[in-house]
């Protein structure tokens, strides 16, 4: 069985190393939690919060009120898989667009050099001919979808 909390932690460690900006965005979203309207809060959770608010002589959670809740382990892992899928698809489509533009403008070189103004360090990107490695981003998305289905199956097996 897949442990959602462990899988999330292990994947986030890899993302932190390889895609620090994406890691920070996901970590910030998870830390913020999810906002739920009063009508969307589970009854037991709502009653517990109402008791706490009542102890402090505060009003109950109204139907239109919004409360913040932590993401469950399952939701955190789903959020991470969604972000990785979107990132892979975006990167692939960007490469395809760049390759098509280079072809359209008859740019003979397929190499793009990136250099930061404050550094002599250069990164090189080899742009595939348009269309760029057809379906590569979609292949990555399909792989993430296989992971997502496997997670759902594992969760369903645990529940039954």
Q: For residue range 56-91, what is the model confidence (pLDDT) as tens digits? A: 666 566 666 667 778 889 889 989 988 988 888 888
Residue 141 has pLDDT above 60, yes or no: yes
Mean pLDDT value of segment 118-138: 68
Residue 137 has pLDDT above 60, yes or no: no
Give tens-digit pLDDT for 89-121.
888 888 888 888 888 888 888 888 888 788 888
Q: CA 145 → CA 140, 149, 150, distances in Å?
A: 9, 6, 8
Mean pLDDT value of segment 27-34: 91
Instruction: Please give the residue that has the higher pLDDT: either 107 or 146.
Output: 107
**The predicted structure's pLDDT at residue 99:** 83
Residue 41 has pLDDT above 50, yes or no: yes
In 10 A of CB 8, how many CB atoms? 22
**The predicted structure's pLDDT at residue 132:** 43
């Amino acid at each position: 069985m897949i442990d959602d909390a462990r899988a999330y932690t292990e994947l986030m460690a890899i993302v932190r190393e390889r895609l620090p900006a994406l890691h920070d965005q996901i970590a910030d979203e998870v830390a913020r939690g999810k906002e739920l309207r009063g009508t969307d809060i589970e009854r037991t959770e709502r009653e517990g919060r109402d008791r706490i608010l009542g102890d402090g002589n505060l009003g109950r959670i109204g139907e239109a009120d919004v409360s913040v809740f932590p993401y469950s382990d399952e939701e955190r892992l789903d959020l991470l898989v969604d972000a990785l899928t979107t990132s892979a698809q975006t990167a692939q489509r960007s490469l395809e667009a760049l390759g098509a533009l280079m072809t359209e403008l008859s740019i003979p070189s397929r190499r793009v050099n990136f250099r930061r103004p404050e550094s002599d360090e250069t990164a090189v990107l080899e742009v595939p001919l348009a269309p760029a490695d057809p379906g590569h981003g979609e292949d990555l998305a399909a792989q993430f979808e296989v992971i997502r289905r496997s997670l759902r199956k594992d969760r369903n097996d645990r529940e039954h």
